[in-house]
Structure 1
Amino acid sequence: MADDKEAAEALIAELQKNIREAFAVFDHETNNTVDVREIGTIIRSLGCCPSEAELHEMLAEVEEEEPTGYIQLDKFLPMMTKVLIERKYRPQPEDVILRAFEVLDQNQKGYLTQDELTKYLTEEGEPFTQEEIEEMLSAAVDPDKNIILYKDFAAMMTVEEY
Structure 2
Amino acid sequence: MAEIAPEEAEQASTDLEKRIVEAFDVFDHGGSKTVDVREVGTILRALGCCPTEADIQEIIIQVEDQETSGSVQLERFLPVVLSLVQENKYPPASPEKILQAFQTLDPSGKGSITTEYLSKVLTDEGGGVEPFSKEELDEMLAVAVNSETGAMVYEDFINLLMVS
Instruction: Confirm or deny a common fold (TM above 0.5).
Output: yes
1:82 corresponds to:
83
RMSD value, Cα: 1.7
Question: Which residues of structure 1 form unaligned runs of 5+?
Answer: none
Q: Give the whole-Å Cα distance in 2 for the aligned partners of 1:119 and 1:67.
A: 38
CA distance in 2, matches of 1:149, 1:90: 24
1:98-153 superposed Cα distances (whole Å, 9 cap, x missing partner):
11100111221211111211121122311111121122112111111111111111
| Alpha-carbon displacement from aligned partner over 1:72-117 (angstroms, at most 9, x marks no partner) | 0011000011011101211222222111100111221211111211
Q: Distance in 1 between matches of 2:163 and 2:97?
A: 12
How does 1:98-137 map onto structure 2 within 5 Å?
A: 98-123=99-124, 124=126, 125-137=129-141
Equivalent residues of 1:91, 1:158 under 8 A apart: no
Sequence identity percentage: 45
Q: Distance in 1 between matches of 2:22 and 2:139?
A: 26
Name the structure, 1 or 2, with higher relative contact order (CA <8 Å, separation 6+): 1
Q: 1:96 — aligned with what?
A: 97
Partner of 1:41 in structure 2? 42
The 3-state SS of whatever aligns with 2:13 is: helix
Partners of 1:66 and 1:102 in 2: how far apart? 48
Gap change, CA 1:71 and 1:159, over 3 Å in 2 = farther
What does residue range 1-162 of structure 1 map to in structure 2 within 5 Å?
4-65=5-66, 68-123=69-124, 124=126, 125-158=129-162
Q: Note the C-alpha offset of 1:55.
A: 1.4
